[in-house]
A and B are shown apart, each in its own frame.
Chain A
Amino acid sequence: MREFFAMGGYAAYVWPAYAVTLAVVVFNIVSARRSLARAREEARRRLSMRGEGS
């Protein structure tokens, strides 16, 4: 297990590379979901502002 994490002496390069990529993947998931949630919220606010009559 320790050998696996040592990455043959390249741990200082391999793991940060994987961490950065993971961060980008997570950023994409979070930011896409957040922008959809915000768009829905915004649309709902607009609808309620225009009232029931329209």
Chain B
Amino acid sequence: MATARPLNWTWFHRLGSPPYIYELAARLAPWFGWPAALAIVGGLWGGLVLAPPDYQQGDGFRIIYVHAPSAWMSLMVYTTMAVAAATGLIWRMKIAHAVAASCAPIGASFTLAALVTGALWGQPMWGTYWEWDPRLTSELILFFLYLGYLGLRAGFDDTQRADRASGLLAVVGVVNVPIIHYSVTWWNSLHQAPSVMRLAKPTMPPSMLVPLLLMLLGFTLFFVAILLVRLRAEVLNRERSASWVREVLGP
């Protein structure tokens, strides 16, 4: 048997190094941004033009191609934020807190999109823009959690204290994520049951499903690209006195 070599952890430590992250994020962002644009354009074409009208909802169902990806973002970004905040709290990793802080405005904006597109879908299909229904209410709470997180951060001058307080809120608030996801199964909801994110086969024909999957993929890539840009700003703001800042900014 070969002698055990110590594991090489340098890559992990470099992930905690601000200048490395700053440059890495700059290099990676276009590799997510451009594929995101391609996937979204493809998804829009497929969803608005190629997919046939729904047999019950006619062309009104096409709202799904912006509503479902926005709702997916609201949950996925929150989960990312909570995991990053927990990592920051447990291992005292500053970069993890920077990731969490960068997630919040992205998640809040897409939660708003999910709520508004949902209302616009609800009116023609259910006859109302809003109902205090479990799914809708829990999604609204998610929006307030994002706003609370942002407001809490803004209330602190000291970044470390802001990280700790807002991080705790993000971690506690994550219980809302499974509640939103399962709300349509646990309670009687106006909202339709999941048609893609389910264990059994999706309920849609491929002509409708493929554009939706493209939109979900595109939005996810878009999130990563935006996160990387925001992370660079966040890292720069936190490194008040580092000499590397002088180097990366140039003369």
Residue positions of A touching B, CB distance < 8 A: 4, 7-10, 13-14, 16-18, 20-21, 24-25, 27-29, 31-33, 35-36, 38-40, 42-44, 46-47
Contact = CB atoms under 8 A, between A and B. Distances in A.
Interface string B19-30: 000000000000
A38 to B, nearest CB: 7
Contacts, number: 92
A27 B239 CA distance: 26
B229 interface: yes
B229 A36 contact: yes
Given A25-B222, A47-B249, 10 more contacts: A4-B48, A8-B53, A13-B123, A14-B60, A17-B67, A17-B121, A27-B109, A32-B226, A32-B233, A43-B236
Majority DSSP secondary structure for residues of B touching A: helix
A42 B240 CA distance: 10
24 contacts: A4-B49, A8-B58, A9-B58, A10-B62, A16-B120, A17-B67, A17-B116, A17-B120, A20-B66, A21-B113, A21-B117, A24-B70, A35-B229, A35-B233, A36-B230, A36-B232, A39-B237, A40-B236, A42-B236, A43-B236, A43-B237, A43-B249, A44-B249, A47-B249
Interface residues of B, number: 37
A18, A32, A44: most-surrounded residue (chain B CB, <10 A): A32
Nearest to A9: B58
Given A13-B60, A17-B117, A17-B121, A24 B229 contact: no
